[in-house]
Structure 1
Amino acid sequence: MNREHNRTALVTGANRGIGLETCRQLDLAGLDVVLASRDPDRGRAAARTLNSPRIRAEELDVTDAKSVRRCAERLANAGVEVDVLVNNAGIYPTVSYFSLDEDVMRRALDVNLMGAFHTCQAFVPDMVRRGYGRVVNVSSGLGALTENVPSPAAYGISKAALNALTLVVSAAVPQSVKVNAVCPGWVRTDMGGRGAPTSVEKGADTVAWLARLPDSGPTGGFFRNRRRIDW
C-alpha cells in the first residue's frame, strides 16, 4: 500500500479557494486531510462538498496561538498525527503604502506571517520527532525581492516575511522534514477574482506536489509551477 495512505495533512484557511482544492487533491492522492478554518460552520459545509470519509473539519484561527494549540490538542487526543502542514490561510489588503494604517498592516502580518509561525511551532516539532514532515507555505511572487518591491504594501511585506520564515524553519529541522514556499500564481478565487488567468486546480497543483515530496525532494525553496524560483 502506498505510504501516503498513512499520512495526514492539515490545511489552513481550507473552506474555500486554493485551500479547499488542496484538500481535494490530497484526498484523491490518498492522504487523510484535516480541513481547518476559522469559521467551524463554513469548514464543515466545505468538508461536506468533498464527500470523503478521509476529511475532517477542525476549527482553527491561525492568528490566535491558543486556538492553534487547542486544535493540536484535539487532534492528538483523537490519535491524529499531522505529517503535512499547508499554511494556506491568508488575506490580500491592497491599500497603497501611504494610505496604509497600522491596523491593516498588523492584520496582514497576523494572518500571513504569524499564522504560519503559530502552526509551525505547534506541529513541526512532532514531525521532527517522528522523522517525517512536509510544510508548505503558500506565498506569492508579490513578496519576492528579486522580482519587484513587495507589493501591494501590507500583502507583499507579509509574504516576504513568510518567505523568510520558510528559510528559518527549513534551517532549523533535519532533511526528513521538507519546508518550502509556493507561489500559486494569480488564481480565480474569491481573493484573485474572476479575471485571474489560473484555475484553482492549477493553482493548488504545486501546493499538493510539495505536500507529497519524496525523501529526495527539495527543501528550503520557493516554487511556481513545480519549478524553483528566486526569492
Structure 2
Amino acid sequence: MKKLIKLVPAAILVLFISAFTLNKTVSNGYGIGDIAEDFSLKNIDGNMVSLSDYKEAKGFIVTFTCNTCPFAVMYEDRIQALNEKYAPKGYPVIAIMPNNTDVKPGDALPEMKKRAEEKGFTFPYLIDEGQHVYPKFGATKTPHIYVLEKTNKGNVVKYIGAIDDNHTDASAVKVKFVENAVDALLVGKEVEQKETKAIGCTIKV
C-alpha cells in the first residue's frame, strides 16, 4: 500500500510534466514584437527563397497554407488579392506549406506546383521540408498569418492570426485583419488589433 501511495504522486507528476510539455510545444513560437528569423525554403520552381532576398520589401505577409485544407482553399483568392494589393507597396505574400507530406500527399511539391499554376499564384509557394520553420513561428493552422515589419533590428512580428472575420463568405467580411494591420504599418501607425484566432485545419505532423 505504501508503494502504491508513493507511485500515485509520481504518476501525477509525470502526467503534469507531459501536459506542460505538450502545451508548451503547441503554444511556443513568436509573439508580437519578436524578431522572426530568416529562413531558406524551396519554392515550387525549385529555387530557394529567403526573406533577405527581398531587398526592397518593407515587410512581409507570411502565410502558412496548403492545398488540402478546405479553409485554406476558401482563402486562396483572398491570399492572392493580398499579394496583388500589397506586394507593390512593399509587403509581399510569402506562402509556406507546413504539412507533413507523408500524411498529406496532396500537399507534396508537385501538387503545390500544380495548384499554384491552376490558381495563378503570383507569390512564392514554399515547402517547409522537415517542418523546421512553422514551429518557430508557432503556426498551428492553415491558414495562419504573420505580418512582419522590416526594421533595422530585423523582421518584427506585428500581427498574428486570421486573414479576416469570415472564412466562409468573402463578400460578408466585416473586418479585414491583415489589411488593417498592413495599412497601419504603411503609414507608420501602430497595429490596433495585433492578434486574432486563426481558423483552419491543424498542421499535420
Q: Which has the higher helix share?
A: 1
Larger relative contact order (CA 8 Å, sep ≥ 6): 2
Class of the TM-score when normalised by the shorter of the 2 chains:
0.3 to 0.5
Q: TM-score, normalised by structure 1?
A: 0.37
TM-score normalised by the chain length of structure 2: 0.40
